[in-house]
Structure 1
Amino acid sequence: MREITLDQFATSHADGSAFVLDVREGMEYVQGHVPGAVLIPMSRLSSHLADIPRDRAVHVICRSGNRSASMADFLERAGYDAYSVAGGTDAWARSGRPVVTGRDTH
């Protein structure tokens, strides 16, 4: 599994170069997520691979980094350029970066 630091992720997020995939459950996502993150819960990921672009990096995020590490590894084995975001959404929020609540992805 490849991991990206929070600062590296923030740079990619700011320039829009990476697809942000949130693999938490819906209720967690609604409580707060990275702007622009697309929700595909870990339990449904294998049946939604067609929804994930293959032409750019995929930054996988969860709450703390455990689920995202597992799912980034799964995606990498499936041929995606996937990275787990170190520290997850919790670290993103603690760093003072913006968090969106509700179902809106922006």
Structure 2
Amino acid sequence: MSLRHYLRRPPSVSAADAVRLVAEGALVVDVRRDFEWRRVHIPGAVHMPLEQLPTRCLELPEDRLLIAFCTGGIRSAGAANLLVENGFEAVNMSRGLVEWRAAGGPLSS
């Protein structure tokens, strides 16, 4: 993934908004590494590590809002920009897992 994906600020939502959007049908795209996913993840999220996203993003649905997600919000910012460039409606969940927990979002281990 190009450095330019990290230099622009993508559309973003808070974790509280993300929890609501998921309940309304949005899909979380977790771009963390495998070991991070195995430790804890959001139920119903799609796991697509950032390194795989450029070649696999076309597997994602085009008819749902995609919420890019990682531990702190930096990797997912680049992911959200990449998804938008590929024609998806996508946002970054700022502050990632830290804020998701604080907002009371569900987690699976």
Instruction: Give unmatched runs, 5+ long, in structure 1.
Output: 102-106
Q: Tell me how far 1:26 sits from its aligned partner.
A: 0.7
Once residues 97 and 83 of structure 1 are traced to their aligned partners in structure 2, the CA distance between those partners, rounded to angstroms, is 17
Structure 1 match to 2:20 = 11
Query: Counterpart of 2:42?
Result: 34
Q: Specify every segment of 5 or more residues in structure 2 that has no aligned partner in the other structure, as ranges.
A: 1-9
TM-score normalised by length of structure 1 = 0.88
Q: CA RMSD in A?
A: 1.1
Match of residue 3 from structure 2: none
2:88 corresponds in structure 1 to: 80
Q: Which runs of 4+ in 1 moved over 4 A?
A: none
Instruction: Pick the aligned partner of 1:57 from 36, 55, 65.
Output: 65
The alignment covers a number of residue pairs equal to: 100
Identity percentage of aligned residues: 30
Distance change in 2, residues 1:36/1:61 (3 Å): same
Deviation at 1:5, TM superposition (A): 1.1
